[in-house]
Amino acid sequence: MTKEERLKKRHRSEKRFKLYGVASIFVALLFVLILVQNIFSKGSSAFMKTAINVEVFFDPELLELQNGASSDDILQADFFDITIETLLKAYPAKNLDEENELIDLFSTDAEIEIRKAFLENNNLVGKKINLEITASDDIDQLHKGNYPRDLPEDRRRISNFQLNIYDNLVESKKIVKNFNNYFFKNGDSRNPELAGIGGALVGSFYSILICLLLSFPVAVLASIYLEEFAPKNKITDFIEININNLAAVPSIVYGLLALQILLATIQLPRSTPLVAGITLALMTLPRIIIPCRASLKAVPPSIREGALAVGASKFQSVFHHVVPLALPGTLSGTIIGLAQALGETAPLILIGMVAFVVDIPSTPIDPSSSLPVQVYLWSESAERGFVEKTSATIMMLLSFLIVMNFIAVYLRQKFEKRWN
Amino acid sequence: MNLVLIFLITIFSLSLFFYGRSKTKSISIQNNIKLNALPKFYGYYLVLWCSIPALIFLLVWSLFEPVIIKSIIIETAANQGAIFNDKNEANLIYEKIKAIHLGTFFGDIDSILKESAISYAKFLNLFTNSKIVLIFGIVIASVIYSLKKIKNNNKARDDVELILKGLLFASSLIAILTTLGIIFSLLFESIKFFSVINIFDYLFGTNWSPQRAFVSDASKITSAELEEIKDAFGFIPLIAGTSFIALIAMLVAVPIGLFSGIYMAEYASVKVRRISKPIIEILAGIPTVVYGFFAALTVGPFFRQAGESLGLTVSSESALAAGLIMGIMIIPYISSLSDDVINSVPQSLRDGSYAIGATKSETIKQVVIPAALPGIIGSVLLAVSRAIGETMIVVMAAGLAANLTINPLDSTTTITTQIVMILVGDQEFDSPKTQSAFALGLTLFIATLILNYIAQRAVKKYREKYD
């Protein structure tokens, strides 16, 4: 091999090496893109729901109500017959089987929706109105194009007769797409078209709030002690090693801790945001202490010495001068820690947040779910409608995380002082 | 009740702040003496003395009250002739008594229970009253003590700072308490587990099927039952599955992470670095449940279809899918740590290498990486510990059955998956099945602890070398 050839070979290997680097960064970026694209393409349709326009006739014979009835009476009254009448009018059905299939096109909440329309305007007795009733999950998915029509009938959840009705309704423009308010308002449900993340949102909010209230003050005080006051001795070293190790303990171990101490020993109520918040706080604590200490450390000693020189006590120099300067870093570290806590799932599963909760929790000691646990729960469900609901929940979760991280970066860039 | 007490204590101590401040001011004016601290510190002093002892007392009291009342009630019920054979039945009776007291119990109420409920109400009342009296006593005593101190013109600032320093120290002790709590709760159940199942059967058994251990109470296990479940808790398949999935993850994450770290540190322009580094770190910020969803619903089925078209049988919960996605999750941990490590290799080493004619890649391969090796190994070990502790991806995308396999297309299970599977839903706290989850947790905790310790030592040693 001549000198030139050797040199060429070395340059080729140089280029190859650089290419490996570019390729691996490219792979990582590509994956972010694929993941986001996948979630968005599956989830964006969940923000709309399919409804079927029907004509409701509030037949005075079927409805034992007068115009101007009180809302209590309306809530007591039976709307079942009217609902069935209304739904059957949507398409001519010849026998009982066909009638059942026709009714199955609508959500099980049709009765409640008709009652609600009546409540809003209660002089409807004897009148006819047009109402958009939420369609069942199967029709919803069919209309959104998520459901294959070309399967043989026995492998489809929708029968040929139902497909006929659907085509007929589409032709007469009776099928509409509305904003899916149920998705934000409702709690969990077995029916995908009614399931929502309302309960999970509230549960997550309470959990994170409790986590913030518990972990932020303790983390800030602990990092102030360790960084500013702690004497250099064995105890301090031990605490430091402890904190570093705690930050790397798998989150599921915190779930076991909560199960044993909070649920079995202290007997706090299961499946509640209170327990979730305490568990997340214990987990987040070391993860906040580390950035807090870093931002305290970044404040130059001249600040402390200046304060001490004009007669401030050690406490005053720390609390009046060092802490305010370290605050932006502290806050952004806290927000990032909370963002991690918001996405944490495993410990919450162990403390029973996987329970099926329909009601939206009103206090932190009501059973509830949380956003990531809801993702886990729905991803285990077989119904097609839950796939898009899960993806949409992930979209919500990711957007919260993006907002939180954005605030953290903004705080740091805007308010943090650079010391040179 | 407790909230009202806390509220009252807070209000009272806050009002004491203003009292203390104005009081000391007037004392100094009347007696014409110089105060030893600013007036507000006397206020703070009063606030701290008034609130902290009372609140600590309240906390301790609330922790122990239910336990004490319970033991008293169960004892009186036993004296009155209630029959219970073990702890569970006693607990049940206690819950019944409580429900009767609250009026939420619907069922046959016999006279013993009724009387116990009455005495429960009596004790509850007694405890609440004595709590209130004691707290008032404590508040009054501490206020009298601190007022006396103030009148003697103490060095209030020093005292306040001393108390606050104690508070700071107490907060930093919470980390130690958490560690103790983890160790205690894991050990407690694990010891019970190992008193039934031989530790060697656990560590070296090759069969994991905890569903066979349906016995509900570990303390009353018969020898026939013990024989039945003895070999149901073999740890080998779990550690094999966990290591296998972690290995696949590392095969994905180490090359990609390391090469991106090297590229970021050595080649990338400031602009490229500023854009691509945060985007790669997004991967670390995505919740693992999202990766799990993606692995289970997109990657798993994709592999299965791809395998079918190639004529392979691929499980839809293959180790490959879980490991691949876990590897992608771990990329940023390796890339940013190795980026840091490489950046802290002194420039003089590189310059020396360039000076004798090496190309950039030769310098990196033969000078920079060997110099940074301990740090890189540390970052890889940290990533391994994250991989074996990772839960959601494997729960959603890996299998549940404990197969001993080295086929990446087969399904396999992990330690974390089994913990979740055992503990989801209602648990019988005394069954060996539940306790086995804590034994698994203890194993996991020790394993990650050792890995982290070695990794942190490696990184620290490396840093010290070049600092």
Q: Where are the domains of chain B?
A: 2-154, 236-466
Looking at CA atoms only, how far is residue B305 from chain A in angstroms? 18
CA distance A73 to A43: 40
- Higher-pLDDT residue of A354 and B107 is A354
For tokens 């308002």, what's the residue? A185
Q: What is the pLDDT of residues A381-397, one digit of tens each?
A: 877 788 889 999 999 99
Selected residue of A14, A34, A35 to mutate for chain B interface (largest B Cβ count, 10 A): A35
The rounded radius of gyration (Å) of the Cα atoms in chain A is: 30
When pLDDT is cut at 50, 70 and 90, the band that residue B216 belongs to is: low
At a CB cut-off of 8 Å and minimum separation 6, what does A213 contact?
A277
Superfamily designation of domain A198-415 = MetI-like (1.10.3720.10)
- Nearest chain A residue to B291 by CA distance is A35
Comparing CB atoms, the residue among B184, B297, B392 nearest residue A345 is B392
CB-CB under 8 Å, A390 with B293? yes
Q: What is the pLDDT of residues A1-39, one digit of tens each?
A: 788 899 999 999 999 999 999 999 999 999 989 999 999
CA distance B132 to B57: 11
- Which of residues 338 through 377 in chain B touch A, CB cutoff 8 A? 359-362, 364-365
- Higher-pLDDT residue of A195 and B70 is A195
- Nearest chain A residue to B358 by CA distance is A10
Tell me what the mean pLDDT of segment A51-60 comes to: 85
Residues in B touching A289 (Cβ below 8 Å): 175
Tell me what the mean pLDDT of segment B63-68 comes to: 80
Q: What is the pLDDT of residue B224?
A: 67
Comparing CB atoms, the residue among A21, A29, A217 nearest residue B267 is A21
Averaging pLDDT over each range in A1-5, B92-96, B269-273, B351-355, which range is the top one?
Answer: B351-355
Tell me what the mean pLDDT of segment A154-171 comes to: 84
Grouping H, G, I as helix, E, B as strand and the rest as coil, residue B109 is: coil
For chain A, the structural domain boundaries read: 45-179, 198-415
When pLDDT is cut at 50, 70 and 90, the band that residue A57 belongs to is: confident
Comparing CB atoms, the residue among B282, B283, B297 nearest residue A387 is B297
Residues in B touching A397 (Cβ below 8 Å): 287, 290
Selected residue of B293, B333, B442, B451 to mutate for chain A interface (largest A Cβ count, 10 A): B293
Residues in A touching B391 (Cβ below 8 Å): 250-252, 345-346
pTM: 0.88
Cα dihedral value A226, A227, A232, A236, nearest 10: 20
Q: What is the pLDDT of residue B246?
A: 94
Q: CA nearest A137: which of A380, A374, A383, A378?
A: A383
Looking at CA atoms only, how far is residue B343 from chain A in angstroms? 16
Question: Residue B182: how many CB atoms within 10 A of its CB?
Answer: 22
CB-CB under 8 Å, B424 with A256? no
Whether B465 has its CB under 8 Å from any CB of chain A: the answer is no
CA distance A320 to A228: 13
Got the DSSP string for B204-258?
H---B-GGG---S-GGG--HHHHHHHGGGB-SHHHHHHHHHHHHHHHHHHHHHHH
- Which of residues 396 through 435 in chain B touch A, CB cutoff 8 A? 396, 416, 419-420, 423-425, 429
CB-CB under 8 Å, B389 with A261? no
Average pLDDT, rounded, for chain A:
88
Q: Is B37 left (phi over 0), alpha (psi -120 to 50) or beta?
A: beta
Looking at CA atoms only, how far is residue B251 from chain A in angstroms? 13
Q: What is the pLDDT of residue A224?
A: 94
Tell me what the mean pLDDT of segment B34-55 comes to: 83
Q: Is pLDDT of A240 > 70?
A: yes
**% residues pLDDT > 90 (chain B):** 27
| Phi and psi torsions of A56, nearest 5° | -100, 130
Q: Tokens standing for B299?
A: 């990657």
Percent of residues in chain A assigned helix, strand, coil, to nearest 5: 65, 5, 30
CA distance A84 to A293: 66
Tell me what the mean pLDDT of segment B278-294 comes to: 90
Q: Is B236-466 in CATH node 3.40.190.10?
A: no
Got the DSSP string for B185-204?
HHHHHHHHHHHHS-HHHHHH
Which uninterrupted H or E stretch holds A373? helix A371-379
- CA torsion through residues A196, A202, A205, A206, sign: negative
